[in-house]
Amino acid sequence: MFNEMHWGKKNRMGEIIQPDGRALMLAIDHGYFMGPTRGMEVPSEALAPLLDHADSLMLSPGILGSSVPTSFKGGVVLRASGGNSILDEDMSNEAVILSARQAVNLNASGVAISIYVGAENQHQTLLNLAQTIEDASEYGLPVLGVTAVGKEMKEKSAAKRFLALSCRIAAELGADIVKTYYCEGFEEVVTKTPVPIVIAGGPKLDTYEDILNLCHNALERGAIGVDMGRNIWQSEHPAAIIQGVRGIVHGGLSVKEALDLVNSLADDSTRRKQYFAAHPDDAKVQEKH
Ligand code: 5RP
């Protein structure tokens, strides 16, 4: 897939995309604009039971430094765009917050930049991606383009066109991997995007079966894996569902087989520790992101 790359970049890509061509990225970068997101209030504790099951982590530099043991052997994709918050009316007001040099200094496998196509600050966010791709090329550092979705994708029926547009723009600017959302007609989004695609999980789904179906459908329609957050660590049994997702991404399990696995692992030992009651405003936050 990436034979033409030089050794450094190929090696780093290999920390994200595994030899089977698949990727299980665990997204925990939400705090960069959402603060102490439910389920990730104490990152070191929420992460500990998950680290062995993720190929790579996608996170902010601050959480890497404070909450991930240096013994972690998986890949690390650092969030490199930010400067906004969930309190902003328009969340697209992002700038580059991490240079490729700083990322390499933190031993990163790659960096992630969000683009907000159709949003007020579309132009700036596309320049953020282009600028980081140029910066990262000096260091052989892969770049993940993240197609952020705001009010621009209000209509579910318009999702395919919007996501195909956003993913293709990220690929045209030179992103090595694109992270986007699953939608109806997803195979068209994949076909029109000439680089590997991973899917986000999006807001918390109701059941484990829904989560596993989402993963299975996305892979069947051409995604190479997932970069999933809330549907793992906001679940009742995060260490159980991540192993089910892993079974689908790397183990070729059917949804039923993966669900059986999750159910067999869902007990008190894998139950998520609840620190605080959910705040009523959490639901509003989910609507915005
Ligand atoms: C923000 C992100 C998040 O990491 C992303 O949405 C993935 O997490 P989730 O599976 O919770 O949607 O990239 O733009």
d(CA 21, CA 268) in angstroms, rounded, equals: 34
Q: List pLDDT tens digits, range 64-86.
A: 999 999 999 999 999 999 999 99
Q: Quick one: pLDDT at residue 123?
A: 98
How do beta strands 56-59 and 95-96 pair?
unpaired
241 C-alpha to ligand 1 centroid (Å): 17
Q: How confident is the model at residue 154 (pLDDT cuts 50, 70, 90)?
A: low
pLDDT by residue (tens digit) across 31-76? Answer: 999 999 999 999 999 999 999 999 999 999 999 999 999 999 999 9
Q: Is the CB of 82 under 6 A from ligand 1?
A: no
For residue 151, the model assigns a pLDDT of: 63
CA–centroid distance, 73 to ligand 1, in Å, is 22
Please report, for residues 6, 10, 77, the alpha-carbon distance to residue 28 in angstroms, rounded to integers and kept in the order given.
29, 24, 10
Vertex 184: Cα angle to 179 and 185 (nearest 5): 85
Topology at the third CATH level for domain 7-288: TIM Barrel (3.20.20)
Which of 25, 28, 30 should be mutated for ligand 1, with most atoms under 8 A from CB?
Answer: 30
Q: Which of 2-16, 110-124, 155-169 has the highest mean pLDDT?
A: 110-124
| Residue to substitute in 29, 56, 97 for testing ligand 1 pocket (most ligand atoms within 8 angstroms of CB) | 29
Asked whether 118 lines ligand 1 (CB < 6 A), one says no
The CB of 146 under 6 Å from ligand 1? The reply is yes
How does strand 143-147 pair with strand 110-115? Answer: parallel
Residue 140 pLDDT more than 70? yes
Rg (CA), the chain: 18
Length of the chain: 289
Q: 228 alpha carbon to ligand 1 midpoint, in Å?
A: 7
Q: Percent of the chain at pLDDT above 70?
A: 94
Ligand 1 mean position, distance from CA 29 (Å) = 7
Q: Is the CB of 108 under 6 A from ligand 1?
A: no
Residue 95 has pLDDT above 70, yes or no: yes
**Whether the CB of 94 sits within 6 Å of ligand 1:** no
Residue 3 has pLDDT above 60, yes or no: no
Q: How high is the pLDDT of residue 77?
A: 98
148 close to ligand 1 (CB < 6 Angstrom): yes
- Specify which of 87-96, 166-175, 269-278 reaches the highest per-range mean pLDDT: 166-175
Domain ranges of the chain: 7-288
DSSP state of 41: S
Q: Give strand pairing partners of 177.
A: 144
pTM for this structure? 0.95
- Please state the rounded mean pLDDT for residues 237-263: 98
Asked if residue 235 has pLDDT above 70, the reply is: yes
Residue where the block lists tokens 């918390």? 204
Compute the Cα dihedral for 87, 179, 209, 264 and give only its sign. Answer: negative
Average pLDDT of the segment spanning 204-223:
98
Q: Looking at the predicted structure, is the pLDDT value of residue 155 above 90? A: no
Q: Using 50, 70 and 90 to split pLDDT, how confident is the model at 243?
A: very high
